[in-house]
Amino acid sequence: GESVGLHLPTLSVQEGDNSIINCAYSNSASDYFIWYKQESGKGPQFIIDIRSNMDKRQGQRVTVLLNKTVKHLSLQIAATQPGDSAVYFCAEPAGGTSYGKLTFGQGTILTVHP
Amino acid sequence: DAGVIQSPRHEVTEMGQEVTLRCKPISGHNSLFWYRQTMMRGLELLIYFNNNVPIDDSGMPEDRFSAKMPNASFSTLKIQPSEPRDSAVYFCASSTLAGTDTQYFGPGTRLTVL
Q: Is B56 on the interface with A (CB under 8 A)?
A: yes
With an 8 Å Cβ cutoff, are A5 and B4 in contact? no
Q: Give the model confidence (pLDDT) of B36-77 as tens digits.
A: 999 888 899 999 999 999 988 989 988 999 999 999 999 999
The 10 Å Cβ neighbour count of residue B102 is 17
Give me the sign of the Cα torsion angle A111, B2, B3, B8: positive
Which pLDDT band, with edges at 50, 70 and 90, does B83 fall under? very high
Which of chain A's residues have a Cβ under 8 Å away from the Cβ of B101? Answer: 32, 34, 91, 93, 99-102
A30-51 mean pLDDT = 93
Q: How far apart are CA B102 and CA A73, in angstroms?
A: 17
**Paired residues of B105 in beta bridges:** B93
pLDDT score of A39 more than 60: yes
Residues 6+ apart with CB under 8 A from B112: B10, B11, B12, B13, B87
Mutate to test the interface with B, among A102, A103, A108, A109 (most CBs of B within 10 A): A102
Phi, psi of A82 (to 5 degrees): -55, -35
Closest residue of chain B to A93, computed from CA coordinates = B101
Which pLDDT band, with edges at 50, 70 and 90, does A1 fall under? very low
Q: How far is B25 from chain A (nearest CA, A)?
A: 14
pLDDT score of A3 more than 50: no
* Partner residue opposite B107 with nearest CB, options A43, A99, A104: A43
With an 8 Å Cβ cutoff, are B91 and A44 in contact? yes
Q: Give the model confidence (pLDDT) of A56-91 as tens digits.
A: 999 999 999 999 999 999 999 999 999 999 999 999
Q: Is B91 on the interface with A (CB under 8 A)?
A: yes
- Cα dist from B33 to A5, B23, B53, B101, whole Å: 24, 10, 11, 12
At B61 the pLDDT is 87
Which pLDDT band, with edges at 50, 70 and 90, does A4 fall under? low
Which of chain B's residues have a Cβ under 8 Å away from the Cβ of A45? Answer: 105
